[in-house]
Amino acid sequence: MATITVRNLPARVVDSLKARAKRNGKSMEQQVREILEANAMDRQEIFRYIEKELWPKIENPPTKEEIDEWIDDTWKHRP
């Protein structure tokens, strides 16, 4: 597994990460790892996950186009 170092993070970001980790009962390192993992997936990985894990569980699965539109809309409104 690789290791990265992130320098010069604003104090407010570090404070926010510490608070979030505490609320979730995790170390800050684990919280950051989970945030990075959750946000590092590209569109194709997301589609493969949805097709494999989610579509088989629902009656009327969305189309790839609907998912792509949802991803676009979701990322536009992220802080």
Q: pTM for this structure?
A: 0.54
pLDDT mean across residues, the chain: 85
Could you state, in order of their start, the residue ranges of all structural domains in the chain?
Answer: 10-40, 43-76
CA distance 48 to 77: 23
Asked if 63 and 38 count as a contact pair (C-beta separation under 8 A), the reply is: no
pLDDT at residue 38, rounded to an integer:
77
The candidate with the shortest Cα–Cα distance to 44, out of 62, 67, 22, is: 67
Q: What digits encode the pLDDT tens for the residues 18-50?
A: 999 999 999 999 999 988 887 777 777 877 887
